Amino acid sequence: MKMNLQLLNDVVLDYDNPDKVYALAREYDRLEQGSGAFSFYLRAADMSPGKTFEEKWLQYKSIIFSAFIYKRNRNRQLSVEGLLKIAIETLPERPEAYYFLAQEKRERDDWRECLMYSKIGITNIADKAPDRDLPYPGDMALRLLYARAKWKTDGRDESKNLAFDIRYKSRLRADDLLEADTLLREHGYPSTLPYTPELLDRYKFKFDGIENIETNYSRHFQDMFVLSVLDGKRNGTFVEIGSGHPTLFNNTKLLEEEFDWKGVSVDNSERFAHIFSRERNTTMIFADAATSNYEGLFKQHCLEEHIDFLRINAEGASIAALNQIPFAKHEFGIIQFQHNACWWGEEIREESRKKLQEIGYVLLVHDVAVDGSQNYEDWWVHPMHANRKKHMQSNKINFAWNYMMEQL
């Protein structure tokens, strides 16, 4: 590689010009002449008055590139770190030096320090840089670095949510997309994907009243699906077998709270049954889902022939519960059956499908999944709703987010 002699000539003729000295430093750097580049970087930083942002920006870049030269020489971590901290002191409101310092910490498995610097960097994400000299990969890369450090330091769902939000709620460059996918593959997807008002424009199956929903309660939009198929129906009815907690990851709380639905919930946890009775208006039955007399239960609680929504998630008792539902006397608009095929194998899934298909229900969305592979339930509809072609999917597995949301 040949040197640009004009740059050298410019410095000789105007040796006190920091911009020209910086340009020459960049040329030496391009030629991989580290000692020359380093000396001119430091001279450019020292010569710049540092009064305006532009002057500080020149100092800032020069110091960061000086750190990179030390980094290339290896075994100079303290020098690299020290220079990057000087850069931060020069322009503490810029994110780039925080990112590079966080990367240094990542490479040394110092995840708490990585977490600290990446978090500070995020709080200092600024407007677009004046130029593109620095090899800063962008704010999303900084956020992803923070998400990785967050997982490494506490291993909680929050880090999964951070990675998920970047992956599915942002437009990403190819490198950031690869990193986000890697994070989610390594750490797993969040345990729940909540609906929030900012998702309204992306929601595929809008219904009457969706604009008033601040949050839902299901793990993967089960409650939103029911409202979508029934066009935001009010005063509906439900039967929930295996209700769990009355609010956390619950599939009927939204229906009751915002759309005035009524129903019956069954659970074999005495603790959940007590909490449910305190916090919900819905009738709670403390019972074994596998041995309950559903015909008598429905009659006792005056459930009409048509029930809008049947939800079955009773773990190992689910098939027994399904087989005892009085389908000859009651019909259901929507049935959600959790078969857990990804964890338990296909036997329960196939048995439930055979049962529901024989009595005429339509499998509208099959193998709803936590992510791209963990399929755990089917969503069925009564033939009266079978014309909902927009809801049907031919994917082998239907990742709940991709099913419900338009992709960016």
Q: What would the pLDDT profile of 276-285 be if each residue is shown by its tens digit?
A: 999 999 999 9
| E strand or H helix that includes residue 89 | helix 77-90
DSSP code at position 270: H
Domain boundaries, the chain: 5-187, 197-404
Question: Same fold for the domain at 5-187 and the one at 197-404?
Answer: no
Please tell me the distance from the alpha carbon of residue 7 to that of residue 20, in angstroms, as a whole number. 7
The mean per-residue pLDDT over the stretch 218-242 comes to 97
Please tell me the distance from the alpha carbon of residue 133 to that of residue 163, in angstroms, as a whole number. 28
Confidence (pLDDT) at 392: 67
* Structural contact between residues 365 and 403, judged by C-beta atoms closer than 8 angstroms: yes
Please tell me the distance from the alpha carbon of residue 367 to that of residue 353, in angstroms, as a whole number. 11
| Matching residue, tokens 């929030």 | 196
Confidence (pLDDT) at 158: 85
Residues 6+ apart with CB under 8 A from 231: 207, 208
**C-alpha of 364 from chain center:** 25
> In the structure encoding, which two tokens stand for residue 402, read together?
């991709």
Q: What would the pLDDT profile of 3-44 be if each residue is shown by its tens digit?
A: 787 876 777 777 889 999 998 899 889 999 999 999 999 999
The mean per-residue pLDDT over the stretch 164-186 comes to 94
Kindly report the number of other CB atoms within 10 A of residue 247's CB atom. 14
Handedness of CA 328, 389, 201, 405 (dihedral sign): positive
Phi, psi (rounded to 5 degrees) for 385 = -105, 10
* Structural contact between residues 183 and 151, judged by C-beta atoms closer than 8 angstroms: yes
How close are the terminal C-alpha atoms of the chain, in Å? 43
Q: What would the pLDDT profile of 87-113 be if each residue is shown by its tens digit?
A: 999 999 999 999 999 999 999 999 999
* Structural contact between residues 217 and 249, judged by C-beta atoms closer than 8 angstroms: yes
* Structural contact between residues 289 and 317, judged by C-beta atoms closer than 8 angstroms: yes
Q: What would the pLDDT profile of 285-342 be if each residue is shown by its tens digit?
A: 999 999 999 999 999 999 999 999 999 999 999 999 999 999 999 999 999 999 999 9
CATH architecture of the domain covering 197-404 = 3-Layer(aba) Sandwich (3.40)
**Residue 273, helix vs strand vs coil:** helix
**Residue 262, helix vs strand vs coil:** strand
Please tell me the distance from the alpha carbon of residue 281 to that of residue 264, in angstroms, as a whole number. 10
Q: What is the share, in percent, of the chain residues with pLDDT greater than 90?
A: 85
Q: What would the pLDDT profile of 147-163 be if each residue is shown by its tens digit?
A: 999 999 988 888 899 99
Residue of 142, 42, 53 whose CA lies nearest to 98: 142
Between the alpha carbon of residue 407 and those of residues 63, 126, 164, 215, 365, the distances in Å are 41, 27, 13, 20, 18
Phi, psi (rounded to 5 degrees) for 241 = -110, 110
User: Judging by DSSP bridges, how do beta strands 362-369 and 283-286 pair with one another?
Assistant: unpaired
* Structural contact between residues 377 and 336, judged by C-beta atoms closer than 8 angstroms: yes
Confidence (pLDDT) at 394: 64
Domain 5-187 sits in which CATH superfamily?
Tetratricopeptide repeat domain (1.25.40.10)
Confidence (pLDDT) at 246: 93
Q: What would the pLDDT profile of 67-87 be if each residue is shown by its tens digit?
A: 999 998 877 889 999 999 999
